[in-house]
Chains A and B, each alone.
Chain A
């Protein structure tokens, strides 16, 4: 038993070592391949094996292409590329224009989104139509398309002007703003002492599968007699300083944040796309509004927790 276990751990150790060495090798080889003037050296120098030289030149060319592509992607944020639709029945012979939008948060490129266009109308070569895309549904892609890429009716002879650049710009703004809001809510969670997203999800997985029941109140008509107590309770607690924030939650598009306090207060905050809190409603568990807290919440999304706990 013992030996098997130790052998297993040895094997996994060696596997890990191999993986890290492979990564190191790949890293080093790409550094070597991206040395300036390397291709001139190789193509001019004498080599015994001619196919090897061709292979080396091919690798260098690939590396150069990657460097150019990455530089454009990193600097421009939105880049275009061409792909070929493998569908034999694809419109326009499967020529597809791809637009790639990079989202960078806190010095990292965290996500890449793609929109693919084809040219459905052979008469109007410039008219683009969205073919496929990877934009999440909380981004108003349809509205953006309606605005910047209107499709011309086939009966009309005049073509409506399409503004691909504007479309890309606004789409990128929407995407980045969404990621920034998500990021801001994660920060709020940390500020409220709730742990970041990773640990939260892990905890949840360990506890209950079933989530929060959202209508635990709806049918509890027979609990009416307790309500007065609760009301008074909340009232007295409201006077006190606010207690701990126990939950910070947001919808997928982060247009609405909800916060729950340990004393039964709940707040819902509307967020604009650029991250301002423009609407706020805070109520006690008895349903009484607490306008003074709501007023404090208005402002930037960052620092919401500080403003509420201050």
Chain B
């Protein structure tokens, strides 16, 4: 599959789906060997299905070069005979699916047998997406929001909610892909795969970055100077929402180099441009949310009801607060509650006991004090922050902007609205990624204004763990944290993973509505 001489010059094309990488290519081996046996088989069957055949051509009997046959016989032919037709291959993989066995068997068959001539870009992309769906916590995602750039002309228009007004950016895959390719091809060659996932309401775009002016197979196969950098970027659009999740496709333990980060930024900058239309320009705004689990992202920055009802407010999103308007039964609710608490108590000893005193915990699991603490936790966290709900956040980071409490605080109640009403719209739009680790100059000035003579120490609190808020909930249930005096941001109700706290509350976006 050597490229013909006519196509070796630099060009302005994308990398087509059908371009093949050699089976020994590092990306190919890495990606495919991460997949489980059932995933490999289902992928192979998808590749063989009629609509994908053009992009994933396997090695068939007819492809064998009769002249080369003798040479190849020793090294390659041995184990796998080339199939005669697609149907025969499909049967083979169906048979493999039906019986048990190791994944190595399937992997070898794919790499050394049926696709020995190379794995196409399309196959690589689908394999990587398959891995992402199998392991939804494999990557670290940053949630961004596509925000309309305010325009003096359209400002009035934006306010109106008419019969055919549209407040979300229109996502049209074809147009979007065309615009994106237009933005990127002068800078780099890339392979794009955009797919709508059916099991979860998201659309995934994978951009395989090929840092080379050539779009030929030969140039793809040679590894570029950046040795081990991540080559693909994932973007996820939850359907029907203004958010975008961004992630570099890294392999386990792979370091994200500057090069990879830079290429990701290039693609990321092109995304809002590809969305923009004349008179409706968009930019990516930070939403202060980073998490590994896709379901956490969908819960906090998704299309559904739970975006702005996190923490204790989750009871409003999942019907546990208000029954159906025609449900008149009052007596059953208490029974259901009993059951759920009983179930929880049964589960508590199974969870990892706190260091030190596992015995006492078992002893006093029935006392009214424990029951009360559980009720307090229920009240503060509602139905959220359960250890096994799969919506874990790994890192939660806040900066405390309150003045040091030793001084008598005059402004406790008087200025309660300050965080919402500071007239600084210009700064808001420019602030790209407010890191809690360093205060911006304006924020420092604000602090000086509001807390004239008081001392505001630089305090940051970082929570890390598998599921931060479930952990805090458990601490409340154990009595380590006083559930009633605990500030609201510790329940996760602000729906951010980084933020700054003033007056005991996470400072919100000025003039914005939570979760939008």
Instruction: Give A residues with C-beta under 8 Å from B.
Output: 22-23, 25-27, 29-30, 33-34, 59, 62-63, 66-67, 70, 73-74, 85-92, 98, 100, 102, 104, 109, 112-114, 116, 120-122, 129-138, 140-147, 151, 153-155, 170, 174, 201, 204-205, 208-223, 251-253, 255-256, 270, 272-274, 278
In the complex, chain B residues whose CB is within 8 Å of the CB of A146: 158-159
Q: How far is the CB of A114 from chain B (nearest CB, A)?
A: 4
The main secondary structure of chain B at its interface with chain A is loop
The complex places the Cα of A129 from the Cα of B485 at a distance, in Å, of 24
Q: Which of B220-228, B270-278, B307-315, B357-365 contacts A (4 or more CB under 8 A)?
A: B307-315
The complex places the Cα of A164 from the Cα of B138 at a distance, in Å, of 45
Residues 61-94 of chain B, each 1 if its beta carbon lies under 8 Å from chain A, else 0: 0000000000000000000000000000000000
Which residue of chain A has the shortest Cβ distance to B14 in the bound complex?
A219
In the complex, chain B residues whose CB is within 8 Å of the CB of A34: 328
Report yes or no: B505 in contact with A209, Cβ–Cβ below 8 A.
no
The main secondary structure of chain A at its interface with chain B is mixed
Report yes or no: B330 in contact with A74, Cβ–Cβ below 8 A.
no
Report yes or no: A138 in contact with B303, Cβ–Cβ below 8 A.
yes
Report yes or no: B329 in contact with A27, Cβ–Cβ below 8 A.
yes
In the complex, chain A residues whose CB is within 8 Å of the CB of B16: 219-222
Most buried by A among B323, B325, B335, B380: B325
Report yes or no: B191 in contact with A219, Cβ–Cβ below 8 A.
yes
In the complex, chain A residues whose CB is within 8 Å of the CB of B171: 251
With beta carbons under 8 angstroms apart, the residue of B158, B303, B316 that contacts A143 is B158
Report yes or no: A210 in contact with B46, Cβ–Cβ below 8 A.
yes
Report yes or no: B195 in contact with A209, Cβ–Cβ below 8 A.
no
Report yes or no: A273 in contact with B240, Cβ–Cβ below 8 A.
no
Report yes or no: A273 in contact with B164, Cβ–Cβ below 8 A.
yes
In the complex, chain B residues whose CB is within 8 Å of the CB of A129: 420
Report yes or no: A70 in contact with B512, Cβ–Cβ below 8 A.
no
Report yes or no: B326 in contact with A70, Cβ–Cβ below 8 A.
yes
Report yes or no: B511 in contact with A151, Cβ–Cβ below 8 A.
yes
With beta carbons under 8 angstroms apart, the residue of B240, B332, B488, B515 that contacts A138 is B240
Interface flag for B33 (CB, 8 Å): no
The complex places the Cα of A29 from the Cα of B46 at a distance, in Å, of 56
In the complex, chain B residues whose CB is within 8 Å of the CB of A273: 163-164
The complex places the Cα of A91 from the Cα of B158 at a distance, in Å, of 30
Report yes or no: B487 in contact with A133, Cβ–Cβ below 8 A.
no
Interface flag for B444 (CB, 8 Å): no
- What number of residue pairs across chains A and B have CB atoms under 8 A from each other? 262
The complex places the Cα of A77 from the Cα of B129 at a distance, in Å, of 43
The complex places the Cα of A121 from the Cα of B484 at a distance, in Å, of 24
Q: How far is the CB of B433 from chain A (nearest CB, A)?
A: 22
The complex places the Cα of A34 from the Cα of B327 at a distance, in Å, of 13
Quick one: given A86-B312, A221-B13, are A100 and B322 in contact (CB under 8 Å)?
A: yes
With beta carbons under 8 angstroms apart, the residue of B161, B242, B312 that contacts A147 is B161
Report yes or no: B240 in contact with A220, Cβ–Cβ below 8 A.
no
B498-516, CB < 8 A from A = 503-505, 511-516
Quick one: given A140-B165, A140-B167, are A114 and B316 in contact (CB under 8 Å)?
A: yes
The complex places the Cα of A85 from the Cα of B313 at a distance, in Å, of 9
In the complex, chain B residues whose CB is within 8 Å of the CB of A131: 514
With beta carbons under 8 angstroms apart, the residue of B126, B159, B239, B487 that contacts A89 is B487
The complex places the Cα of A141 from the Cα of B328 at a distance, in Å, of 31
In the complex, chain B residues whose CB is within 8 Å of the CB of A147: 159-161
Most buried by B among A67, A74, A209: A209
Q: How far is the CB of B46 from chain A (nearest CB, A)?
A: 6
Q: How far is the CB of A169 from chain B (nearest CB, A)?
A: 12
Report yes or no: A137 in contact with B168, Cβ–Cβ below 8 A.
yes
Report yes or no: A214 in contact with B330, Cβ–Cβ below 8 A.
no
Report yes or no: B46 in contact with A208, Cβ–Cβ below 8 A.
yes
With beta carbons under 8 angstroms apart, the residue of B160, B198, B331, B488 that contacts A29 is B331
Q: Which of B23-31, B173-181, B343-351, B447-455 contacts A (4 or more CB under 8 A)?
A: B173-181
B126-174, CB < 8 A from A = 126, 129-130, 133, 158-161, 163-168, 170-171, 173-174
Interface flag for B493 (CB, 8 Å): yes
The complex places the Cα of A102 from the Cα of B322 at a distance, in Å, of 11
Interface flag for B256 (CB, 8 Å): no
Interface pairs (23), CB distance under 8 Å: A70-B326, A86-B484, A88-B484, A88-B488, A89-B487, A90-B488, A122-B414, A133-B514, A134-B306, A136-B241, A143-B161, A146-B159, A147-B160, A154-B418, A204-B198, A204-B199, A208-B46, A214-B194, A217-B174, A218-B181, A220-B55, A251-B239, A273-B163
Q: How far is the CB of A233 from chain B (nearest CB, A)?
A: 16
Interface flag for B393 (CB, 8 Å): no
The complex places the Cα of A209 from the Cα of B40 at a distance, in Å, of 12
Known: A144-B161, A209-B197. 7 other contacts (CB 8 A): A86-B380, A88-B485, A129-B420, A137-B307, A210-B126, A218-B14, A219-B18
Quick one: given A109-B324, A220-B18, A251-B171, are A215 and B304 in contact (CB under 8 Å)?
A: no
The complex places the Cα of A143 from the Cα of B161 at a distance, in Å, of 7
The complex places the Cα of A147 from the Cα of B155 at a distance, in Å, of 12
B407-440, CB < 8 A from A = 413-414, 416-418, 420-421, 423
The complex places the Cα of A143 from the Cα of B160 at a distance, in Å, of 7
Report yes or no: A138 in contact with B322, Cβ–Cβ below 8 A.
no
Report yes or no: A132 in contact with B196, Cβ–Cβ below 8 A.
no
The complex places the Cα of A220 from the Cα of B13 at a distance, in Å, of 11
